[in-house]
Amino acid sequence: MRKKSVLALLLAVMMVLSGCALVSKDEEKDNARVIIDVNGETVTKRVISAAVQNQIAQNEYYNQLFSSYYGYGAMYPTDEATVTNQVVEAYTQNLVLKQKAAALGMTELTDEEKAHAEEHAKEYYDSFLQSVISSYMPNSGLEGDELTAAAEKYVSEHSDVKTVDGRATYEDFLNAAMEEVAVEKVREDIVKDVAVTEEEIKADYDAKVEAAKATMESNPDTYGYNLMNGTAVYYAPAGYRMVKHILVGISDEDTKAADDAQTALSEAQDALTNAAADADKDALQAAVDAAQATYDSTKAVGLANAKVKADEVYAKATAEGADFDALITEYSTDHMPEEGYAIREGYAYFVEPFVTGAMALANVGDVSEPVESTYGYHIIKYVSDVQEGPVDLETVRESISNELLTTKKNELTDSTIQQWVSEAKVTTFLDRLK
Q: pLDDT for 340-361, tens place per residue?
A: 999 999 999 999 999 999 999 9
pLDDT given at position 71: 81
Query: How far is residue 126's CA from residue 169's CA, in Å, rounded to a whole number?
Result: 10
| Contact predicate 415/16, CB 8 Å | no
* Extended beta strands in 216-369, E state: 235-236, 241-249, 341-343
The total of other beta-carbon atoms located within 10 Å of residue 280's CB is: 10
pLDDT given at position 19: 57
**Is the pTM value of this prediction over 0.85?**
no
Q: Is 431 left (phi over 0), alpha (psi -120 to 50) or beta?
A: alpha
Largest CA distance in the chain: 88
pLDDT given at position 26: 78
Transcribe 296-331 into DSSP letters: HHHHHHHHHHHHHHHHHHHHHHTSTT--HHHHHHHH
Query: How far is residue 99's CA from residue 65's CA, in Å, rounded to a whole number?
Result: 37
| Below-50 pLDDT ranges, the chain | 1-5, 7
Query: How far is residue 144's CA from residue 180's CA, in Å, rounded to a whole number?
Result: 30
**Own/partner pairs, 352-357, CB within 8 angstroms, 24+ separation:** 353/378, 354/245, 354/378, 354/380
Query: How far is residue 52's CA from residue 12's CA, in Å, rounded to a whole number?
Result: 11
E strand or H helix that includes residue 385: strand 376-385
Query: How far is residue 237's CA from residue 225's CA, in Å, rounded to a whole number?
Result: 13
Query: How far is residue 155's CA from residue 174's CA, in Å, rounded to a whole number?
Result: 17
Residues in the chain: 434
Kindly give the pairing relationship between strand 426-428 and strand 34-38: antiparallel
| Contact predicate 272/280, CB 8 Å | no
Q: Measured in whole angstroms, how far is the alpha carbon of residue 131 from the centre of its chain?
A: 26
Residue type present at position 5: S
Report the alpha-carbon angle 426-429-431, nearest 5.
Answer: 155
The closest of 403, 421, 399, 404 to 3, measured between CA atoms, is 421
Query: How far is residue 248's CA from residue 251's CA, in Å, rounded to a whole number?
Result: 9
